[in-house]
A = this chain, B = another copy of it.
Amino acid sequence: MKHIYTGKTKDVYELEGGNYLLQFKDDVTGVDGVFDPGANTVGLSIEGAGRAGLKLTKYFFEVLKEKGIPTHYVDADIEKATMTVKPAEVFGKGLEVICRYRAVGSFLRRYGLYAEEGQALDAFVEVTLKDDEREDPPISEDALDMLGVLTKDEYKVLKELTKQIGNVVKEELAKKDIELYDIKFEFGRTGLDKQIVLIDEISGGNMRAYKDGKYIEPLVLEKLFL
């Protein structure tokens, strides 16, 4: 097992046979000790955070599998906090794709002239570049195409998958009276036909979820939902 990459919340290893192993860590993104799913720095470390994130990820990736929505997921070992995944290449140096159901966070900071806090949004999709130095700038379909990050056809697939997966997560959470405000995904190309699949994770650290109008912390989400 060969160590490939050390991420903020995961380490990546290459397995015999070509698959990869994601080791979920107890670090979560945030600023000054306060969790923020949109932050680019590790804000704090919480015991059990890795395992909690993996439990949610396993749950959602298996629901997606049942529904025939493609992901890189193979299987997961909760005890070891590891997930086995198929190899996938990211778009350019990595993208985040956000699906929004309510106007909060960076959407509101940018478009507050036209949107009120908490206003309903109809599965609005936007893409940001993973670029810590430039604070993950939003980028348009045209710019992604022009800069060679992804083609217009790939953008269509990405947007459609994002809405589908966002809606699956939203419906799942709604079963426990939890409301999804927004969620971010990562995608990659896999296999010889470069199929676009969901990669990374689906956990409290990737979404804003609310119950009775109150924000649910990522670790609380796992306890409340599973």
Contact = CB atoms under 8 A, between A and B. Distances in A.
A109 B138 CA distance: 12
B134 A113 contact: yes
A131 interface: yes
A141 B139 contact: no
Nearest to A93: B113
A95 B121 CA distance: 21
A7 interface: no
- Number of this chain's copies in the assembly equals 2
A129 B111 contact: yes
Q: Interface on chain A toward B: helix, strand, loop, or mixed SS?
A: mixed
Nearest to A130: B113
A110 interface: yes
Contact of A126 (B93, B111, B115, B143): B143
User: What 5 A-B pairs are tightest by C-beta distance, nearest first?
Assistant: A110-B137, A114-B147, A113-B131, A140-B140, A124-B146
B146 A122 contact: yes
Contacts of A111: 129, 134, 137, 139, 143, 147
Interface in A94-152: 109-115, 121-122, 124-126, 129, 131, 133-134, 137-143, 146-149
Interface residues of A, number: 29
Contact of A134 (B109, B133, B134, B138): B109
A97 to B, nearest CB: 12
Contacts of A122: 146
A92 interface: yes
B146 A121 contact: yes
Contacts of A133: 113
17 contacts: A92-B113, A93-B114, A109-B134, A110-B137, A110-B139, A111-B137, A111-B139, A111-B143, A112-B134, A113-B133, A113-B134, A114-B129, A114-B147, A122-B146, A124-B142, A126-B140, A140-B140
B134 A110 contact: yes
A137 B111 CA distance: 8
Given A124-B146, A141-B141, A142-B126, A92 B110 contact: no
Interface in A194-220: none
